[in-house]
A and B are shown apart, each in its own frame.
Chain A
Amino acid sequence: MRSRQWFWASFSLPGLAWLSLFFLVPFYVILAVAMGTVDPIFRFPVPVWNPLEWNTQAFELVLDELGPSQTYGTVFIRTTAYVAAAVALSLAIGYPVAYYIARHGGRWKGLLLLGLVAPFWISYLMRMLAWVNLLQEDGLVNRSLMWLNVLDAPRNWLDGRASTVILGLVYGYIPFLILPLYASLDRIDRNLLEAARDLGASRVQAFRRVTLPLSKAGILAGCVIVALPMFGDYYTPDLLSGSPKTSLIGNQINLYIRGGPQVTLGAALVVVLMVLLLVFMVYYLISTARLARELDR
């Protein structure tokens, strides 16, 4: 039996070796660069590999500016606000849709799911491109709104509006919310709801006291799985708004890392971001592991 375990365990070696080299080690590299120095002449970052020699200058700079009205603080707060709004909106739209398909899909379930899954395979960039086209000055959104007499003159939707960016985030990431939500709603045993109705609950009560609590895990998991990439997003503001007014933390990091003398600061920002997100990431991994174990039984 022992050797059988080693037989299977050995299968993990190639994959784990790869992930160690190209996933775990790179995290250490970020730390080494963030805690590194900057070459005085050429202004490129010099990573410091030995933790005992780590230089916390970059972190001090970042932490200094982390207050609410300071450089990095504003960006973090703005990012959190946008993500929160986008997640809330996604939930408001996504929950009813997932609920409907899970509970009332019936014959159309396959087709509806197809419609749900399709956006997954449409590149995020293409979905944003579609909206850039629609939101241009001479685009269909302005034209329809003027035709409906809601607008008198074409409005520039792409000039730095928070609402455009938030809606873009919603549009882009909502499929990542709806699918897990659908999965968890689908898993709810219909018998439980029937039992509630048999015991005299109205439809609303059955929903509130049976479906909603049972889908709570799915809701949380779905919200986390969309919030995480949103926090790292920088291309949505870049595409839907040309202005630094809607800059997210991703934009800041992107600016710093892609060349220039502030790579060390960028690396420090990445570390701060990871620390903030670590709670969510670990929560998600633990909850899916728990779910997997339950389904295993």
Chain B
Amino acid sequence: MTLAYMVWAIVPILVAIRFSFNEGRSRSTAQGWSTRWYWDDPDLSVWNDPSLRQAVYQSLELASLAMLVAVPLGVLLALALTRWRGRGSGPARFVSLFPLVTPEIVMGTALFLTFVHLFHFVELGTPAQVIGHVTFSISFVVIIVRSRLLSIGPEFEEAAMDLGASPRQALRMVLLPLLAPAIFASFMIVFAISIDDFVISAFLSSDARTETVPIKIYSNARGAPTPALNAVASVMLVVALLAITLAVVVVRLVQRGRGERARTVEDFAQLNV
């Protein structure tokens, strides 16, 4: 039964990828093999069609900017939430995790209306989209880093401070290196999540130049698209999977180097890096 589920989950994707390599225009009949839709075709391939190429570029740009902003904010927030036991920490925790349970259409609408009616200094398009991506990504970083912090525990820093380090030094020289794999994994995970995002990007886009790959898929899937659509989706899939694989590999290497038990896939499955 589990096998049936796995098959059902993966096969449609494999089929879509197969048809991205079709020689003909069909997305449902096997017509030979070719990389036509990726770069050969002079007008319609992902490489040559300016709208598809722009979509790939936009997706990558948003993901990179989002991860550069979200991870530092999230790491600081996670440190604060784990160590701070004061009265404000409960509400702070609540606010940090609330984006996770908010349906994207609510967040998309909220941000769209905010940028149009209140924060006029933020234009729709890339700036707005980056802000939107960062806002929902912070919660993921908080979860990942917090769970790692909880399993590290305060002993190492306390030992360092017993040996004379200030809290700041203990943080810099002891805790951050211990957190490094979790932080790296957060970068990759935010990157991958941002690549796949649809609703927020769609609500906050301004014109065709700021359309990401998921938006292109949405607008064209029911029309009469060529396999180039499959191709562009496959490209982003590979990019996202590469990012995640990199994260898993790096974390595993660090874990092995430290002699910790390596249950990496299980840990990733529970966002417990």
Contact = CB atoms under 8 A, between A and B. Distances in A.
Contacts of A115: 6, 9-10
A15 B80 contact: yes
Nearest to B76: A11
B19 A97 contact: no
- Counting chain A CB atoms within 10 Å of each CB, the highest count among B2, B98, B222 belongs to B2
A270 B265 CA distance: 38
B36 interface: no
Interface string A172-194: 00110001001100100000000
Interface stretch (B40-48, B109-117, B176-184): B109-117
B268 A117 contact: yes
A129 B106 contact: no
A295 interface: yes
B117 A5 contact: no
A16 B77 contact: yes
A245 interface: no
A153 interface: no
Question: What interface size band does chain A fall in?
Answer: 35 or more
A119 interface: yes
A274 B138 contact: no
Question: What interface size band does chain B fall in?
Answer: 35 or more
Contacts of B2: 96-97, 100-101, 112
A96 B1 CA distance: 8
Contact of B86 (A5, A24, A27, A242): A5
A158 B28 CA distance: 15
Given A130-B13, A285-B97, A125 B1 contact: no
B113 to A, nearest CB: 5
Given A11-B79, A239-B218, A125 B233 contact: yes
- Counting chain A CB atoms within 10 Å of each CB, the highest count among B12, B28, B79, B195 belongs to B12
Contact of B27 (A122, A133, A288): A133
A150 B241 CA distance: 37
Given A5-B86, A234-B105, A126 B217 contact: yes
Contact of A121 (B85, B135, B240): B240
A140 B15 contact: yes
Contacts of B110: 23, 26-27, 29-30, 270
B230 A133 contact: yes
A231 interface: yes
Contact of B16 (A96, A114, A126, A274): A126
Given A19-B95, A123-B240, A281 B101 contact: yes
B269 A113 contact: yes
A133 B132 CA distance: 30
Given A12-B76, A26-B110, A133 B28 contact: yes
B109 A30 contact: yes
Nearest to A99: B2
Nearest 9 CB-CB pairs, A to B? A232-B103, A15-B77, A12-B80, A26-B110, A123-B196, A130-B12, A11-B80, A232-B105, A8-B83
Given A29-B110, A122-B196, A138-B28, 13 more contacts: A5-B85, A5-B86, A9-B80, A14-B72, A16-B92, A19-B135, A20-B95, A25-B114, A33-B117, A117-B268, A117-B269, A119-B9, A267-B109
Interface of B: 1-2, 5-6, 8-10, 12-13, 15-16, 19, 26-29, 72-74, 76-77, 79-81, 83-86, 88-89, 92-99, 101-107, 109-114, 117-118, 131-132, 134-135, 138, 142, 150, 167-168, 192, 195-196, 198-199, 203, 213-214, 217-218, 221-222, 229-230, 233-234, 236-237, 240-241, 244, 263, 265-266, 268-270
Interface of A: 4-5, 7-12, 14-16, 18-20, 22-27, 29-30, 32-33, 45, 47, 93, 96-97, 100-101, 109-110, 112-119, 121-134, 136, 138-140, 143, 158, 171, 174-175, 179, 182-183, 186, 224-225, 228-229, 231-235, 238-239, 242, 250, 253-254, 257-258, 263, 266-267, 270, 273-274, 277, 280-281, 284-285, 288-289, 292, 295-296
25 contacts: A8-B79, A11-B76, A16-B95, A18-B73, A19-B96, A19-B99, A19-B135, A26-B107, A29-B113, A30-B109, A110-B265, A118-B10, A122-B196, A123-B237, A126-B16, A126-B236, A127-B13, A132-B222, A133-B230, A175-B9, A232-B104, A267-B109, A270-B105, A281-B98, A281-B102
